């Protein structure tokens, strides 16, 4: 049995998703993306999980998309199997019901920074570098580096990385709002976990609802989030119970608006 490329584990109210391809600095290929999607599904289904941390094994957080994985694809496969599928997985992360924290204990470049941008928060160690170097090899950011990253970091910051080729150190990224906290080398996971535990002490349903409302305002979600919030409210009403009970009994429901 081969070792899992992405693992999920639980530590109290904290879920930990770990990219495990250290020999490639956790560069993403299709099997990695599939494993990440499965780990996110597992995290969301765990009712006792309040916060999810995303981290990379070894010296890198994520080196982005594995060039060897997509470099030989034809245009159609690159568009559908690579870009669109990667988008789906990253959207899955961005829309996870729990708050998420990216633990940047190694460089986050290209798709790695796009992965971090899909999280709610980012904790970076002082030595790491962040950027969108894709245009240097004749390709563009494909997993929302020009969309979600612009919404979250601002267009000018993304221009500096994607067009100007600037690579930011953690302290620069903090000043620009690309990361939320900077920790000493080797301390990002502890910092992120402590922060996650403080978040986990807050009202879980209120936190999830607030995350959804922020996502609507940000343009991350719209129709699905609105319907989720409304449906969650309706699920608590006596009217729903009356309606379902009447349906099962094949009777006319007596609604009480309560």
Residue labelled with tokens 């997509």 = 70
Q: In what order do the strands lie in the sheet with 108-109?
A: 108-109, 129-131, 168-169
Residue 53 φ/ψ, nearest 5 degrees? -100, 140
Selected catalytic residue, list 134, 208, 220, 221:
134
Identify the active-site residue in 23, 57, 68, 114.
114
What contacts 151, CB < 8 A, 6 or more positions away? 218, 219, 220
CA quadruple 165, 170, 172, 175: dihedral sign: positive
Cα 116 from chain centroid?
7
Residues 6+ apart with CB under 8 A from 205: none
Of 108, 240, 103, 95, nearest to 185 by C-alpha is 103
CA distance 213 to 60: 33
Q: What angle do CA 99, 101, 105 make, to 5 degrees?
A: 175
Catalytic residue at 68? Answer: no
Distance CA 101, CA 125 (A): 13
- DSSP labels, 231-244: HHHHTTSHHHHHHH
134 catalytic residue (yes or no): yes
Active site residues: 114, 134
């Amino acid at each position: 049995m081969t070792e899992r490329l992405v693992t999920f584990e639980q530590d109290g109210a904290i879920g930990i998703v770990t990219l495990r391809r250290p020999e490639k600095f956790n560069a993403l290929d299709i099997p990695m993306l599939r494993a990440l999607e499965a780990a996110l599904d597992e995290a969301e289904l765990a009712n006792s999980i309040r916060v999810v941390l995303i981290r990379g094994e070894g010296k890198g957080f994520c080196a982005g998309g594995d060039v060897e994985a997509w470099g030989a694809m034809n245009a159609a496969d690159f568009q559908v199997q690579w870009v669109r599928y990667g988008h789906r997985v990253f959207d899955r992360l961005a829309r996870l019901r729990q708050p998420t924290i990216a633990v940047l204990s190694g460089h986050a470049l290209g798709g790695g920074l796009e992965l971090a941008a899909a999280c709610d928060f980012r904790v970076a160690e002082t030595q790491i570098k962040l950027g969108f170097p894709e245009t240097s090899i004749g390709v563009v950011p494909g997993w929302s580096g020009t969309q979600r990253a612009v919404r979250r970091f601002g267009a000018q910051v993304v221009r500096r990385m994607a067009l100007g080729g600037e690579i930011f150190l953690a302290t620069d990224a903090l000043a620009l709002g690309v990361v939320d906290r900077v920790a000493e080398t080797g301390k990002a996971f502890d910092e992120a976990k402590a922060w996650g535990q403080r978040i986990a002490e807050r009202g879980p349903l209120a936190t999830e609802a607030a995350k959804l409302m922020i996502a609507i305002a940000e343009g991350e979600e719209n129709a699905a989030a609105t319907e989720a919030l409304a449906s969650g409210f309706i699920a608590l009403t006596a009217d729903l119970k009356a309606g379902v009970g009447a349906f099962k009994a094949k009777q006319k429901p007596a609604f009480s608006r309560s």
